[in-house]
């Protein structure tokens, strides 16, 4: 009989996906998304094969397809990421099914896997991270389902290996920073199916050939020309690396969702949540390891894949000067360890100590899940909060173009690419390409600046501020233009 | 029930939902909706946690979400109410299907539950009443045997309370009645049942309305009835409010208008006769009598607690909308008793008379359907047209200073928020002592003493309401011949 998720799981998963779609529609474009579009998608030439750390080939290729079909908008450039989000949520639901049949295990696991603000940001952002983590998790859950299903319900070994191999290749094609973890996952899969007593060559062939074919057809050229000079984003120490993952995971409760009575409670709980999760997971793992139970072993495989990938990074760091994973480039560590904790939470407890550990683990997962739900947000990414109001800034520039024939605008680097993408997507303005404010251009009347950093520049040029918001985005204009705009409709936008 | 009957019931429910959506789309915003938006939604700070009688926390929080996602419009601020309407209509449909006792009866009951003009107004209005009604009914009709359903019912009742604090006592009594019902079945241990009924509601209360509850200013409990007749009169008048001449022909309109005051008394008398007969002859299926006991008992207990609180602490009795929960609870109880099949000729007669009275009320409800206004704030029906004229004056003649009284201030300021371009300055509530006013927006019934002393000239007057736009003498020369006065109503 086919497994049907409960209404609770289905509702939670659908709500998460609906939230992703909503964010993709309403959230202003961020600098990295805009740079990706301008660098690898915008032009007729196939720039999505170009070698650059900001170019996530599969994502850029799909962005090109989607924007060619549906035009340019915040939603269309995020559509590949939204597809990745759909796949990730589907994979997460399958993990929940695998972990347990009990709702009180499935539900917190789903919350922790999907609603984690770190993960959620990249399910929306038009980068390759969401797709990469989705394909990674699909590859692993596909193998796990095959391994732990009754023999009569299994599909063929070839099919399982083929699907997982293709998924891992697509994960790599989506984002090169997943290279080590994809390789570690492939080795993990190989070791798990080794016990099927198929010939080694056949097994390696089944796991390697489909993936290699996908890579050859897609990112082979780009990967071959990828130089170490591109790898400039990362952490210099293990502490910095892990700290960035913890910070992103527990980023900012939303005061719209967490009520004022709960905010201090969650703030007090915050430092204890992840250590509690780790300790209780280790406890239940060690207490149930000796039993004939597959979940602790599979949890160990997941954790080992994460550790092995991190280990490869560390070796690269030690001997080749590679930087360690930082924030988004370590996204897989969070999802793999969460899935491992979920597997352990699903282990039935047979002793008092195991029961206590399980209750502690489930309690922590519930608290963490609730914390993550309270972190849901609509308007910005953790990494690029300064772009939260970029659409509003552009609306004002567009108004100034229509009402006061402003054509030349300079901008701080934080907003430049974003405003150019809005300029291209609108198509109704006669604004010239927006350039960096350090470049001089005759006829420039408007500067989009950052209030905190660019005060000296505004003072030097004698600019007058006509707009300033909570992200510190500022629009400053020449005194002559300010005089022309005294009673302008562009100054009276409803907030 | 036959498939055909099921389809008719479903079509009736779907049409009601479509009507509610249409109303949410076309109806002008009203003073209470606009005030809720201005005070608790519009600001970037999370003011929806503040305790206030006008802040229905869950509704306000969802309004905040929908207006952020879809922009500000009448429709987007009413989306949470529409969610409540969908839940309420679904729950009522489920209840009626469960009674399974002939199409005329179940259809009439469904119409009485959903199409009652009193209820329908609040399924549309961007207040917490629709959401609270929806969750309360969902909590009432959830299965009482399965533990998971009991927990869902508890969460629903918690959400009803979070949606509207005036449902507090009704939520408590429905939860208690359901618990007794489940417990009487002896299918689960007491402790498990208690946990299933208590924990979800407590969790919802902690997560959503707790801060508003803790900071609720008790002096704001000024809206209510001061006597029983006033309370009952409020429900009676609201439920029978205004037959719509567009829906029924003039002849039927005249007949119904003449006899309308007898509809509910007739329903009461026929129901009492039928119920007395059923009790005397010990008729009834257990699930029907228990549903009647739960719904009727919860309504009666809620009334008694309100009454006691009124006598003991001076807490005002429910009035109109704050007692709206009595209507579905009463009809659920009436429906459960009415669904009992008769066994003798006398019984058949009595029940036929009761069903006929129920059908009459149902027809009255359908004849009272309306699209354009709420009973409580009918003076705001033409708020959007007033704004359109003012905005035209602003665009064409640079009018910026508008004075208005309380019926229009928040409405006009709401429409200013929906504007994507420049519009006139925020409207202060200074109609009696204005300074440098270019245009007056007033209510000719409420402000008759304003027009003559200030020599105002009414330039625009609403078709359906007493809303008017008037000019002071110094503006007449410039604006009297404006094309803005010709904007179609």
Instruction: Inspect the interface and report whether the beta carbons of A378 and B69 lie closer than 8 Å.
Output: yes
Q: Residue A25: list chain B partners with CB under 8 A.
A: 69
Closest CA to A409 of A476, A471, A358, A464: A476
Average pLDDT over residues A100-122: 96
Identify the bridge partners of residue A467 per DSSP, sorted by sequence position. Answer: A475
Measured between alpha carbons, how far is A131 from A86 in angstroms, rounded to an integer? 9
Identify the bridge partners of residue A409 per DSSP, sorted by sequence position. Answer: A446
The two tokens of residue B164 are 């509207």
Question: Where does the pLDDT of residue A1 fall: very low under 50, low under 70, confident under 90, or very high at 90 and above?
Answer: very low
For B170-219, how does the pLDDT look when each residue is reduced to its tens digit (9 = 90+)? 999 999 999 999 999 888 999 999 999 999 999 999 999 999 999 999 88
For B43-82, how does the pLDDT look when each residue is reduced to its tens digit (9 = 90+)? 989 999 999 999 999 999 999 999 999 999 999 999 999 9
Closest CA to A208 of A187, A181, A179: A187
- The pairing of beta strand A464-468 with beta strand A473-477: antiparallel
Choose from A9, A265, A469, A494 for mutation: most chain B CBs within 10 A: A494
Q: What is the rounded average pLDDT for all residues in chain B?
A: 92
Which helix or strand (DSSP H or E) is residue B443 part of? strand B439-443
CB burial of residue B154 (10 Å; 0-12, 13-18, 19+): buried
DSSP A176: G
Average pLDDT over residues B427-433: 75
Measured between alpha carbons, how far is A386 from B389 in angstroms, rounded to an integer? 39
CB atoms within 10 A of CB B38: 16
Question: Where does the pLDDT of residue A494 fall: very low under 50, low under 70, confident under 90, or very high at 90 and above?
Answer: low
State the ipTM, two decimals: 0.84
For B95-133, how does the pLDDT look when each residue is reduced to its tens digit (9 = 90+)? 999 987 889 999 999 999 999 999 999 999 999 999 999
pTM of the model: 0.90
The two tokens of residue B127 are 């207040």
For residue B31, what pLDDT is reported?
94
Measured between alpha carbons, how far is B311 from B298 in angstroms, rounded to an integer? 20
Give the B-side interface with A, CB within 8 Å: 44, 46, 48-49, 61, 64-65, 68-69, 206-208, 210-211, 214, 416-417, 419-423
For A391-411, how does the pLDDT look when each residue is reduced to its tens digit (9 = 90+)? 999 999 999 999 899 999 999
Longest dimension (CA), chain B: 82
Measured between alpha carbons, how far is B150 from B227 in angstroms, rounded to an integer? 36
Q: Residue A487: list chain B partners with CB under 8 A.
A: none
State the first-to-last Cα distance of chain A, in angstroms, to the nearest integer. Answer: 54
Non-local (6+) Cβ contacts of A236 within 8 A are A323, A324
Output the CA–CA distances (angstroms, integers) from residue B353 to A443, B361, B363, in the order listed: 86, 13, 15
For residue B29, what pLDDT is reported?
96
- Cα angle B15-B141-B304, degrees, rounded to a multiple of 5: 110
The two tokens of residue B201 are 């509601």
Q: Is A46's pLDDT higher than 60?
A: yes
Pick from B49, B206, B208: which is nearest to A260 by CB? B49
Q: Is B368's pLDDT higher than 60?
A: yes
For B143-162, how does the pLDDT look when each residue is reduced to its tens digit (9 = 90+)? 988 999 999 999 999 999 99
Question: Where does the pLDDT of residue B399 fall: very low under 50, low under 70, confident under 90, or very high at 90 and above?
Answer: confident
Q: Residue B46: list chain A partners with CB under 8 A.
A: 255-256, 260
For residue A198, what pLDDT is reported?
66
Measured between alpha carbons, how far is A182 from A128 in angstroms, rounded to an integer? 14
**Phi, psi torsion values for A477, nearest 5 degrees:** -130, 165
Closest CA to B458 of B440, B482, B483, B481: B440
**Phi, psi torsion values for A26, nearest 5 degrees:** -95, -20
Measured between alpha carbons, how far is A214 from A170 in angstroms, rounded to an integer? 7
For residue B489, what pLDDT is reported?
64
Non-local (6+) Cβ contacts of B55 within 8 A are B36, B39, B40, B47, B48, B212
Order the strands of the B402-404 sheet from edge to edge: B402-404, B439-443, B467-471, B457-461
Non-local (6+) Cβ contacts of B341 within 8 A are B101, B283
**Phi, psi torsion values for A77, nearest 5 degrees:** -70, -20
Q: What distance lies between CA A102 and its chain's CA centroid? A: 29
DSSP string, B124-169: HSSSSHHHHHHHHHHHHHS-SSSHHHHHHHHHHHHHHHHH-GGGHH
Burial letters for A166-176: b for 16+ Cβ neighbours within 10 Å, e otherwise?
Answer: bbbbbbbbbbb
- The pairing of beta strand A409-411 with beta strand A446-450: parallel
Q: Is A2's pLDDT higher than 60?
A: no
Which helix or strand (DSSP H or E) is residue B307 part of? helix B286-313
Q: What is the rounded average pLDDT for all residues in chain A?
A: 91
For residue A197, what pLDDT is reported?
62
The two tokens of residue B205 are 């209360």
What is the 3 state secondary structure string of A340-405? Answer: HHHHHHCCCCCCHHHHHHHHHHHHHHHHHHHHHHHCCCCCCCCCCHHHCCHHHHHHHHHHHHHHHC
Question: Where does the pLDDT of residue B1 fall: very low under 50, low under 70, confident under 90, or very high at 90 and above?
Answer: low
Question: Where does the pLDDT of residue A309 fall: very low under 50, low under 70, confident under 90, or very high at 90 and above?
Answer: very high
Pick from B64, B210, B422: which is nearest to A492 by CB? B422
How many CA atoms lie less than 13 Å away from A416 in the CB half-sphere?
Answer: 14
- Which residue, chain included where needed, has tokens 């803790």? B214
Q: Residue A22: list chain B partners with CB under 8 A.
A: 69
Percent of chain B at pLDDT > 70 equals 98
Average pLDDT over residues B446-468: 85
CB atoms within 10 A of CB A369: 21
Q: Is residue A450 classed as helix, strand or coil in its secondary structure? A: strand
Measured between alpha carbons, how far is A477 from A408 in angstroms, rounded to an integer? 11
Measured between alpha carbons, how far is A51 from A225 in angstroms, rounded to an integer? 7
More confident residue, B420 or A96: A96
For residue A398, what pLDDT is reported?
94
Give yes or no for a contact between A93 and A8, defined as CB atoms under 8 angstroms apart.
Answer: no
For residue A424, what pLDDT is reported?
95
**Residues making up chain A, counted from first to last:** 495
Residue of A nearest to B426 (CA): A494
Q: Is residue B429 classed as helix, strand or coil in its secondary structure? A: strand
Instruction: Inspect the interface and report whether the beta carbons of B206 and A262 lie closer than 8 Å.
Output: yes
Pick from A261, A378, A379: which is nearest to B211 by CB? A261
- The pairing of beta strand A464-468 with beta strand A446-450: unpaired
Closest CA to A21 of A378, A373, A332, A335: A378
Q: Is B136's pLDDT higher than 90?
A: yes
Closest CA to A335 of A162, A91, A20: A91
Give yes or no for a contact between B12 and B110, defined as CB atoms under 8 angstroms apart.
Answer: yes
Instruction: Inspect the interface and report whether the beta carbons of B210 and A470 lie closer than 8 Å.
Output: no
Taken in order A19, B15, B1, B84, is the CA torsion positive or negative?
positive
Chain B interface includes A256 (CB < 8 A): yes
Measured between alpha carbons, how far is B72 from B418 in angstroms, rounded to an integer? 5
Give yes or no for a contact between B55 and B48, defined as CB atoms under 8 angstroms apart.
Answer: yes
For B336-351, how does the pLDDT look when each residue is reduced to its tens digit (9 = 90+)? 999 998 889 999 999 9
């Amino acid at each position: 009989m086919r497994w049907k998720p409960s209404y609770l799981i289905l509702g939670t998963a659908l709500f998460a996906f609906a939230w992703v779609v909503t964010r993709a529609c309403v959230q202003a474009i961020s600098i990295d998304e805009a740079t990706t579009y301008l660098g690898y998608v915008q032009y007729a030439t196939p720039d999505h094969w170009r070698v650059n750390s900001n170019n996530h080939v599969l994502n850029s290729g799909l962005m090109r397809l989607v924007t060619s079909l549906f035009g340019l908008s915040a939603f269309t450039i995020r559509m590949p990421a939204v597809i990745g989000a759909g796949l990730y949520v589907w994979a997460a639901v399958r993990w929940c099914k695998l972990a347990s049949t009990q709702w009180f295990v499935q539900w917190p696991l789903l919350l922790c896997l999907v609603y984690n603000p770190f993960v959620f940001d990249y399910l929306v952002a038009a980068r390759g991270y969401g797709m990469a983590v989705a394909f990674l998790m699909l590859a692993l859950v596909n193998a796990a389902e095959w391994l732990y299903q009754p023999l009569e319900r299994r599909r063929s070994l070839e099919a399982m290996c083929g699907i997982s191999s293709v998924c891992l290749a697509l994960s790599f094609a989506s984002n090169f920073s997943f290279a080590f973890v994809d390789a570690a996952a492939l080795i993990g899969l190989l070791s798990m199916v080794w016990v099927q007593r198929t010939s080694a060559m056949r097994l390696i062939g089944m796991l390697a050939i489909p993936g290699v074919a996908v890579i050859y057809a897609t990112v082979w050229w780009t990967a071959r020309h990828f130089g170490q000079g591109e790898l400039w984003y990362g952490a210099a120490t293990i502490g910095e690396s892990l700290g960035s993952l913890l910070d992103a995971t527990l980023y900012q409760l939303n005061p719209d969702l967490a009520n004022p009575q709960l905010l201090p409670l969650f703030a007090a709980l915050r430092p204890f949540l992840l250590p509690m999760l780790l300790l209780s997971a280790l406890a239940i793992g060690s207490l149930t390891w000796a039993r004939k139970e597959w979940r602790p072993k599979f949890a160990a495989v997941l954790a080992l894949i994460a550790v092995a990938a991190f280990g490869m990074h560390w070796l690269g760091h030690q001997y080749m000067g590679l930087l360690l994973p930082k924030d988004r480039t370590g996204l897989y560590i969070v999802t793999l360890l969460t899935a491992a904790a979920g597997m352990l939470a699903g282990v039935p407890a047979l002793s008092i100590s195991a029961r206590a550990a399980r209750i502690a683990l489930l309690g922590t997962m519930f608290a963490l899940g609730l914390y993550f739900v309270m972190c849901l947000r609509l308007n910005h990414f953790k990494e690029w909060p300064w772009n939260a109001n970029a659409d509003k800034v552009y609306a004002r520039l567009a108004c100034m173009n229509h009402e006061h024939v402003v054509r030349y605008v300079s901008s701080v680097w934080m907003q430049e690419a974003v405003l150019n993408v809005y300029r291209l997507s609108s198509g109704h303005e006669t604004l010239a390409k927006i350039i960096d404010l350090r470049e001089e251009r005759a006829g420039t009347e408007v500067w989009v600046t950052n209030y905190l950093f660019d005060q000296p520049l505004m003072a030097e040029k004698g600019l007058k501020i006509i707009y300033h918001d909570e992200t510190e985005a500022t629009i400053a204009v020449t005194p002559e233009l300010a005089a022309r705009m005294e009673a302008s409709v562009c100054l009276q936008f409803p907030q | 029930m036959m498939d055909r009957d099921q389809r008719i019931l479903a079509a009736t429910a779907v049409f009601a939902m479509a009507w509610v959506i249409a109303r949410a789309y076309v109806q002008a915003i009203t003073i209470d909706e606009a005030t809720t938006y201005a005070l608790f939604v519009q600001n970037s700070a999370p003011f929806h946690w503040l305790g206030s009688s006008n802040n229905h926390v869950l509704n306000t929080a969802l309004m905040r979400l929908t207006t952020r996602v879809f922009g500000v419009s009448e429709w987007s601020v009413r989306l949470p109410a529409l969610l409540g309407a969908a839940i309420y209509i679904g729950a009522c449909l489920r209840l009626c299907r469960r009674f399974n006792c002939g199409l005329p009866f179940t259809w009439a009951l469904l119409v009485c539950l959903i199409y009652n003009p009193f209820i329908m107004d609040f399924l549309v209005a961007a207040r917490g009443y629709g959401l609270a009604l929806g969750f309360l009914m969902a909590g009432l009709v959830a299965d009482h045997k399965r533990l998971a359903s009991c927990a869902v019912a508890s969460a629903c009742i918690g959400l009803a309370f979070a949606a509207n604090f005036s449902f507090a006592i009704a939520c408590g009594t429905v939860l208690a009645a359901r618990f007794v019902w489940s417990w009487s079945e002896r299918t689960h241990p007491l402790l498990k049942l208690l946990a299933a009924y208590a924990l979800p509601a407590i969790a919802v209360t902690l997560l959503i309305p707790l801060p508003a509850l803790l900071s609720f200013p008790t002096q704001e409990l000024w809206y209510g009835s001061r006597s029983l007749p006033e309370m009952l009169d409020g429900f009676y008048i609201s439920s029978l409010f205004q037959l719509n001449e567009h829906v029924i022909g003039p002849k039927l309109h005249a007949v119904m208008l003449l006899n309308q005051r007898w509809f509910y008394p007739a329903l009461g008398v026929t129901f009492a006769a039928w119920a007395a007969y059923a009790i005397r002859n010990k008729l009834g299926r257990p699930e029907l009598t228990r549903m009647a006991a739960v719904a009727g008992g919860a309504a009666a207990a809620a009334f008694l607690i309100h009454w006691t609180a009124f006598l003991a602490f001076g807490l005002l009795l429910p009035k109109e909308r704050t007692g709206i929960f009595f209507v579905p609870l009463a009809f659920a109880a009436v429906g459960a008793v009415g669904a009992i099949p008769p066994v003798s000729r006398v019984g058949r007669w009595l029940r036929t008379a009761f069903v006929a009275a129920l059908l009459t009320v149902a027809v009255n409800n359908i004849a009272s359907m309306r699209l354009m206004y709420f009973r409580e704030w009918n003076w705001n029906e033409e708020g959007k047209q007033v704004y359109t004229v003012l905005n035209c004056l602003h665009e064409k003649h640079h009018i910026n200073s508008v004075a208005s009284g309380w019926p229009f201030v928040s409405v006009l300021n709401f429409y200013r928020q929906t504007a994507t371009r420049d519009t006139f300055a925020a409207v202060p509530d200074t109609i009696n002592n204005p300074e440098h006013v270019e245009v007056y927006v007033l209510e000719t019934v409420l402000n008759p003493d304003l027009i003559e002393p200030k020599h105002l000239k009414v330039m625009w007057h609403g078709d359906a309401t007493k809303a008017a736009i008037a000019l002071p003498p110094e503006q007449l020369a410039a604006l009297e011949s404006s094309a803005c006065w010709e904007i179609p109503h």
